Amino acid sequence: MNIQFKKGVLEICVLALLNKQDRYGYELVQKISSQIAISEGSVYPLLRRLTKEEYFTTYLQESKEGPSRKYYRITDKGRAYLHKLINDWQEFSIGVNQIIKEGVSDE
């Protein structure tokens, strides 16, 4: 898949994964990379940017094994942004599917 494209989709994935529950960075990375092939490291710059844009807040929490973990929690602003992205995504994919259907059914 095209890299630019994947990065845009990554934003939706991260926001959607945080919509129901708070998660830590590693968990987010694993959830996403189990579904789509990504450079795992690129999730972290994205998390920082979205945090700075106030779509997330963060807090540290101790864990039984290993060091304390940084959790991300979505804000109201983040939820609003997620819904906008989902709308954009759906419009976009409906459009692409339509074009594929027209293009391929001719053959």
User: Applying CB under 8 A, which residues contact other proteins?
Assistant: 2-11, 24-26, 29, 33, 39-42, 44-49, 52, 65-67, 69-70, 85, 88-89, 91-92
- Closest separation in Å from C-beta 22 to other proteins: 15
DSSP the chain: --HHHHHHHHHHHHHHHHHHS-EEHHHHHHHHHTTS---GGGHHHHHHHHHHTTSEEEEEE--SSSS-EEEEEE-HHHHHHHHHHHHHHHHHHHHHHHHHHHHHHT-
* Closer of 34 and 105 to other proteins (Cβ): 34
- Closest separation in Å from C-beta 52 to other proteins: 6
- Closest separation in Å from C-beta 39 to other proteins: 3
